[in-house]
Amino acid sequence: MLLFKRIKKNNEPQLDEEVVSRTALDAMQQENDQLLDQLETLKLDVSELTERNQHLTEQLTRSKYYQSIVKTVMGLSVLIISFAVLYVLNEEPQYTAMLLLIEAAFIFMMLRSSDES
């Protein structure tokens, strides 16, 4: 009988360890599930923010203010290039000023007409 009692006592701690490890395993599994849920939530948030960013970018490129800024920058760059070409050709200053003023007026009128449309 003593042998039977010893074997029974030896089996009991193993069962306790299995119960503890099972509890720890369940806790880790639950924590893992929570982390996966949080990860999915973050993925959805990132996709929503990406979509919102694309929408705002499209809105900005379609806005009249943005278009007028782009046209103004293009007009100013054309004036600067024209001045550089006239300077390289060694044009007289009075003619350079007159040509640039005519070109600036033409660009200004083009910008104003496109804003009204």
pLDDT tens profile 106-116: 888 887 776 66
* Nearest alpha carbon to residue 79 among 104, 102, 96, 112: 104
What is d(CA 6, CA 10) in angstroms, rounded to the nearest whole number?
Answer: 6
pLDDT tens, residue by residue, 54-70:
999 888 878 878 888 88
Q: Give the separation between CA 102 and CA 96, rounded to whole angstroms.
A: 10
Structure-token pair, residue 13: 């701690």
Tokens 């006592």, residue?
9
Given a contact cutoff of 8 angstroms between Cβ atoms, the answer to whether 111 and 71 are in contact is yes
CB 95 within 8 A of CB 67: no
1-22: per-residue pLDDT in tens? 555 566 655 555 555 566 668 8
Rounded to 5 degrees, φ, ψ at 29 are -65, -40
User: Residue ranges of the alpha helices (H) in 63-92?
Assistant: 64-88
Give me 63's structure tokens.
């806005």
- Please tell me what DSSP assigns to residue 1: -
pTM: 0.47
- Decide: 73 and 34 in contact? Cβ < 8 Å: no
The tokens 């044009």 sit on which residue? Answer: 91
